[in-house]
Amino acid sequence: MEIKDNAFSRQFETFLDGNMIILEYSFQEKKIFLTKIKTPDNFDNEVFINDFLKNIMEIAYERKLKVVPILPKIATFFRKNPTYKDLLPPGIKL
């Protein structure tokens, strides 16, 4: 999966079947706040979204960032994938 970090728009972008999937974020110090996922109407491919989030977690590891899940769907992702819990900043329990 190819993910583009559009720093100007503060979003990660990828494509599936010609449709753009977007994860909006914001930065504060060494933390990335994941705020919103934009998908086309009637998009329900949860496996693709999980793969997209896993790739973004790898980017966070590479950049040595802590991840703050603002969106409930991303908090659920952390609960289902405990291997990424070390990316959470101190004090955040899910």
DSSP line for 11-35? EEEEEETTEEEEEEEEEETTEEEEE
Interval 57-78: pLDDT, tens: 999 999 999 999 999 999 999 9
Percent of the chain with pLDDT over 70: 100
Interval 17-31: pLDDT, tens: 888 999 999 999 899
Average pLDDT value for the chain: 92
Please identify which residue in the block is written with the tokens 């769907």: 73
